[in-house]
Structures are given as C-alpha cells and as structure tokens.
Structure 1
Amino acid sequence: MRTNDCFDENGWLKDEYLWPLRQQITLGSIYVSDYENSFGIQSKKVCDFFTSFWDSYCQELAKEDGLWEQAVVLAKERLINEPDASESKVSNYQQDAYLELQCKKYDNEDTLLQWYGCFDGECPLPPTYVNVDIHWDFARSIRVIAASEDEAYDIVDEMMRKEEIPRSTFEPTGDYELDTNWQPESIL
C-alpha cells in the first residue's frame, strides 16, 4: 500500500489508519524521534497530536471519570500489607495505578477516534507532499502525497504509464523523465 492511500482527498489521515499510527509510536514519550512513522507524517506533528491527546484530552476524561480517586484506592489495596510504607512509596504506587488505569481506559481506538473527530479545519496530522517534475519536451510539476521522494517518483511514474496525467499538457514526442530535485520550502 502506498502512503497516499492512507489519506483522503483533503489530506486527512483516514480513520482506519489512526490506530495503526498510534501503535507505531511511543505514547507519552518526550522524544520526537519516538514519533517517527511509516505514514510520512512529520514526527513533530505526530508528537504534538498525541501529546495533546494524552496530556489534555485523556486527562480531562480521567478527571470526569474520577480516575485519581480509583488510583488512590487501588494503591491502598496494593500496600495493605505495608502500613508503614513511606510517603514517596505511596505516591509512586498512586501514580503507577493512575497511569495503569488511564492506559486501560483511554489508550484505545475509540477514544482516539473521538479525539480526532474534534478537529475541524486544518488537519493535525498533515501528509508529506513531494514535488515531482515531469520532463517531456517541457517540464511540468505535480505534487503527490508520499513518505519519500522514491515513493513519489514511483507514484508519478505509474500515473504516467497509466496515462492518468493528461497527455494534452505535454508534447508526446519521446520518453519522459522524472526528478524530485526541487521541493518548495513549505513542505520541508
């Protein structure tokens, strides 16, 4: 499957690929490199999206559902045989229980789709666009969604072979050549 198959005509990641994207990253990581993905979406954008999902959206849901209170009870149950446990140990157990409950309850496809559905206007997970120049007596440029320049080259080459790009825009007197040397600054 090609990267552009994962996006709709407006450049939004299709819903069915949101959870596979989530499974490729380390949720809650502070390292942008942990958000690299096979969908060609910039790691920084993926990091921002999932940080907002986890630190804002899921935290609000946790408050509404009283998750902290549940975590305190769970920590007490786990420490029942240690009545003299230090304050820091109790606090650590509470934090661990809270994170465990939060993961079980909110780190799932349905919650993620609810969050994604809150966005309107600009896509929070924009695809990478690659410019491919087609040289066939004179140059023409086309922009495609692709994870890499190689994938973009393959997409446009296939479009040319299948005659999906109108030949009326060219002088068809020979073979065409493709290159990805020039890229607009806005996509870098």
Structure 2
Amino acid sequence: MARAGLTAARLTEAAAQLADENGLDRLTVSGLARQFGVKDASLYSHVRNLRELRVRVALLAAEEMSRRIALAVAGRAGKDALFAFADAYRDFALAHPGRYAATQLQFEPEEVADSPGFRRGVELTRGVLRGYGLTEPDLTDAGRLLRASFHGYIHLELNQGFADSRVVEESWHRSLEALHVALDNWPSRAG
C-alpha cells in the first residue's frame, strides 16, 4: 500500500533537490527513502527503480530549464537571443547542478518521447539558430556546436576546471561572442 503523502511528483521534486545538493551520481532510492522516513519498499509503488527516478528528475529539469530559457529569449533574435539563451542555460546549470546533470543522461527514445521540456528545448535552440538564417542540416550541426560548447564550459566550471585568474564570467561572454561570429559566418556547403 502506498504511504500517505508520497506521490511520484513529490518524490521527483525531493530527488531533484537531493541531486542538486549531493550530485546526481549520489542520488539513491535509499537516500530518498531516508529523507521521507520510510523504507525503500515504500517508494517502489511510485517509482520502479533508480533509473526511473533519475529520468523523472531529468524530465522535471528539462521542463524547468526550457521554461527559464523561453522567458529569456522571448522577443529577441540573433546575438541578443543567443546570449539570453546561453546565460539562462548556464544559470540553470550552476544553480541546479544535479538536475542539469540529469538532463545530460543518455535516454532511450521512449523515456523522453512525451517530454514537453526536452521538445521545447530543441524548439528554442532551433529558433535561436533560425535567427542566423540556418536551415537543415546546418541547424543540427550548429545545435550540436552550441550544446557541446555550453556543456563543456559548464562542466569545467562546475568542476573548478578553470585555474587561470581571469574572471570566468568574462571568458564565458567572450566565448559567446566567438559563437555569435561563427554562427553569423556559418560556412556555406556550396564552397
């Protein structure tokens, strides 16, 4: 029988909070059960296993992140949209490192097929890139460039990978300037 007050949504939110505090790799069903003062078995009527719990955290995070990005880019285009998108993306990742890590998991297509957050994230990325006049297959290539650049930078930042004394924020914005130039001068396949 399900424990009163426990729901999949409540467990997901608590798991996301634990992931932010301790790291996604340290999120366990046992740790979550301890937080609620119940045995592990009490959670299994709401989530099948740790994998499902992590996927639920990723779906929640994707929705939160895409909502933040959508607000940031509304009414913007070109360089302005790129900077707003990137800053919202980075701000979310730095504020919620466990949730962000969950969005970077490798998913089975059926795990995220109905995810409005992931779908909206792709739409927002493509919208920013269309502002640079890109179409397929360049949209996909440029989207991969952005994701790799943002994720790589954030991963290094979260792990204190920048040892130089230069302010990380300044390097971030210079990197965005370089991405803007690259997008604005995207190589033509005709050449």
| Same fold per superposition (TM over 0.5) | no
Normalising by the residue count of structure 1, what TM-score does the alignment of the two structures yield?
Answer: 0.27
Query: Of the two, which has the highest radius of gyration?
Result: 1
Normalising by the residue count of structure 2, what TM-score does the alignment of the two structures yield?
Answer: 0.27
> As a proportion of its length, which structure holds more helix?
2
> As a proportion of its length, which structure holds more strand?
1
